[in-house]
């Protein structure tokens, strides 16, 4: 069913992204793998091809913590592909200590928020050319109901990193809701999800709770592939169920203010 369809997954050399890529390759799809480390990426590509016997798996290496790295990734993908049917913005970080990128952005915000915002913009033409295109932005049940729009870079009270992470995942959902409204006329279905509490490096680093095995983390794969989502947009899924969003995410004025800040930060205007 998925033969000929092109799926791109950021952050797919490990964890949920890698598992999703394996599932897609098993199903016969063309899979665009993204990672930061070339050797690790090549190892993953070999593993996926060996396990699935699917040679339509391609690797793209780039650092999404920098705006130049995001632009490089988009340029490389555009040189390689004529269309993308599903773009899965999966890459994310959790950092206990605050740091800044070369662009002067707090690193969690840069990878979790600025990267999907800018990458989606740069790859919109490929999504427009896709067949029943879908865009997925990974959020989390770890969200906040309190956003200080004057401190999106978590300069104050960073503490153990949870505040910055929760903020980033809340903005991810708000971003998906805005994109759903903007892209609806173009036929691009935009949704967000909590991928599940999964035994990943991130879970181990930031939370002391158990999770399901990575090879059982199917939520992202299902949202990306199941035909029942062909005409579903503007939803947030938890355990594959469309779930009520928080009050802060319903604040349209705040969403638009954050959107404008993201345009200013990334230098693009949708």
CA gap 104, 134 in Å, rounded: 31
Tokens 């391609």 correspond to 58
Tell me how crowded residue 30 is: count the other CB atoms within 10 A of its CB. Answer: 21
CA distance 228 to 82: 26
Maximum distance among all alpha carbons in the chain?
50
Residue 168 near residue 112, CB atoms below 8 Å: yes
Kind and range of the H or E run holding 1: none
7 part of the active site: no
Active-site residue (options: 7, 121, 165, 229): 165
Long-range Cβ contact pairs of 72-81 (< 8 A, separation 24 or more): 73/10, 73/34, 73/119, 74/119, 74/122, 74/123, 77/8, 77/32, 77/123, 77/126, 78/122, 78/123, 78/125, 78/126, 80/32, 81/6, 81/32, 81/126
Give the span between the Cα atoms of 28 and 114, in whole angstroms. 31
Catalytic residues: 165
């Amino acid at each position: 069913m998925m033969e000929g369809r092109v799926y791109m997954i950021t952050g797919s050399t490990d964890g949920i992204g890698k598992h999703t890529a394996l599932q897609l390759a098993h199903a016969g799809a063309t899979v665009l793998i993204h990672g930061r480390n070339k050797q690790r990426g090549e190892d993953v590509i070999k593993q996926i091809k060996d396990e699935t016997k699917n040679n339509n798996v391609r690797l793209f290496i780039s650092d999404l913590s920098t705006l130049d790295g995001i632009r490089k990734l988009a340029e490389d993908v555009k040189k390689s592909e004529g269309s993308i049917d599903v773009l899965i913005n999966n890459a994310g970080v959790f950092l206990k200590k605050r740091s800044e990128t070369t662009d002067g952005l707090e690193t969690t915000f840069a990878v979790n928020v600025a990267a999907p915002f800018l990458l989606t913009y740069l790859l919109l033409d490929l999504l427009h050319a896709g067949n029943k295109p879908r865009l997925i932005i990974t959020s989390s049940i770890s969200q906040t109901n309190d956003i200080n729009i004057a401190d999106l870079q978590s300069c104050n009270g960073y503490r153990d990193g949870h505040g910055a992470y929760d903020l980033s995942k809340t903005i991810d959902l708000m971003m998906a809701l805005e994109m759903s409204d903007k892209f609806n006329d173009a036929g691009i279905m935009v949704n967000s999800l909590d991928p599940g509490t999964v035994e990943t490096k991130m879970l181990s680093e930031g939370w002391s709770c158990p999770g399901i095995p990575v090879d059982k983390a199917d939520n992202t794969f299902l949202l990306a592939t199941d035909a029942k989502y062909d005409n579903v947009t503007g939803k947030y899924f938890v355990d594959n169920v469309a779930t009520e969003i928080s009050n802060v995410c319903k604040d349209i004025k705040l969403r638009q203010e954050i959107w404008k800040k993201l345009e200013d930060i990334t230098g693009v205007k949708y």
